[in-house]
Structure 1
Amino acid sequence: MLYEERRFSRFVLFITLPAYIGLLAGLWATYHAGEGFEFMAVVFIAVVMILIDVLSFKIEIDEREIRLRGTLGLIIRKTIKIDEIESFEVKLGWISCWAPIRFNFPAKGCITIHKRGVDVAFTTNNPEEIAMILTTLGVPRAA
């Protein structure tokens, strides 16, 4: 493993908190009503797993690929093979990058990966360290 970083956003936790409370209230109400509890329990588990997956993501870089994963890695995940990358850009500020696939939490900088197919952008607190690793792996920096 050449690089690993976990990004967590308290803002996303604050935004999803009403969803957790609403789901718990719905689960409690269906339990006391005596109908639909099984269905509500399945929905509760599924939605909570999605919300937990959205709370954070992990950046892992090794010699072969870049892996971007959510907390659980169920929904939010993307693997980028190093040999598919055409170039990359480093920008300061977490809202500076744009790409169709974007992993975006508040951070010091962001990286945009230009590859065959769809570009990917992600935020990081160590953009120059990631740039150094990608350059070491032979990935050219965009002009």
Structure 2
Amino acid sequence: MIKRELSKLSGENWDRFLPVFKKKNVQTKKPHVVREKRVYTPFPPAPTPSKIDKEIESGEYFMKEHERQAIKQAKKTQANLEVREQKKAEKASAFVAPAEKKRKRDDKNKLAPTVDDLKNKFLAQEDSKKKKAKASSLSDFVSK
């Protein structure tokens, strides 16, 4: 009976009978890194100075509390002044006018005429009208 069923399935896809495995992200081993040997020093490094050591060096350790507070406050106000000046400069930079482009002298025709140019033109027209009036005589108007 099993042989008959297998013969029926011979033309079908067998994937449904095969096991399905989920893929896992397996990390590959990193190669062993060989570190360079450091130079051997027989003496240990100097210890880092403590807060008290730093105060003794600067002289703050021997000051009174109100003197320390005054110095701290002076540093704070100085820092605030610097920040305030920077912000003022940034705000003022918004009001600075951009550089203007220079005009070319070739654009005289495009520019509006000046008062002197108009005055000269008007006077020239008046002179030409006067000359025409003087040149005309009675004989010009009377036919012969």
Q: Could you state the TM-score of these two structures normalised by the residue count of structure 2?
A: 0.20
Structure whose residues are more often helix by fraction: 2
Structure whose residues are more often strand by fraction: 1
Larger radius of gyration: 2
Q: Could you state the TM-score of these two structures normalised by the residue count of structure 1?
A: 0.20
